[in-house]
Amino acid sequence: MRFLFFAVTLATVVSGCAELVVTREDVLAEARNDPASRGVTTPDRAMLRSLEGSWTGYLEYRDFNTDQIVRLPAKARMDAADNELVLSRSLVFTDPTYDVETSDVVMIEGDGLTEVSVEADGPVTTSYRIVERTYRTTRDWELVLEREGTDNGQPADIRLTQVMLGRTFTSTRDVLTEGATEYLFRNRIRVERD
């Protein structure tokens, strides 16, 4: 059975810069027609539904050059397909002089999560392992994901921690680079429901 979920990505698409191969609407339309998704009620679905709507907050990240934390205002919109198994996300943040828009859709299958982000060159797929799933209510849950990848051009283990607490959703990416003994903060999205 397939479940789609939200994950943060810093892959960016500047509006109008290129024709996209896969759009958010394409993914939502496909999910609406997926017969395997009808009538399913699970904690994953409840988490999905809790993210629907408009959000305002910030994106913060560690600058590679200065090692300083940079904070940018951000607005997010998350929409579920009619069958509730697809959640697409759009995020707009202001990088001092211009707006940047990101877009992604993520699928959960068992203990795996596959993220599809839309970039100027087309879709990019990233796979995570779900290492922790804690669901108490739609306003109190946590999901921890891990994958191998790169950070600033070097091999790294990447951990993504997503937390819903009350009206606040936070998604934090930490990295463990080769030879390091502790995870290092890379970026965070923190938003509150409008």
Residue-wise pLDDT for 140-158, tens only, equals 999 999 999 999 899 999 9
Of the ranges 70-74, 80-84, 85-89, which is most confident?
A: 70-74
Amino acid at residue number 150: T
Q: Which residues, in sequence order, are bridge partners of residue 105?
A: 116
More confident residue, 82 or 3: 82
Average pLDDT, the chain: 80
Please answer whether residues 114 and 24 qualify as being in contact, where contact means their C-beta atoms are separated by less than 8 angstroms.
no
More confident residue, 22 or 137: 137
More confident residue, 87 or 69: 69
The pLDDT of residue 119 is 79
Task: Please state the φ and ψ torsions of residue 36, each to the nearest 5 degrees.
Answer: -70, -15
- Cα–Cα dist 130/89, whole Å: 19
Q: Is 154 exposed, middle or buried (0-12, 13-18, 19+ CB in 10 A)?
A: exposed
- Cα–Cα dist 176/103, whole Å: 25
More confident residue, 6 or 86: 86
The pLDDT of residue 68 is 95
3-state class (DSSP) for residue 120: coil
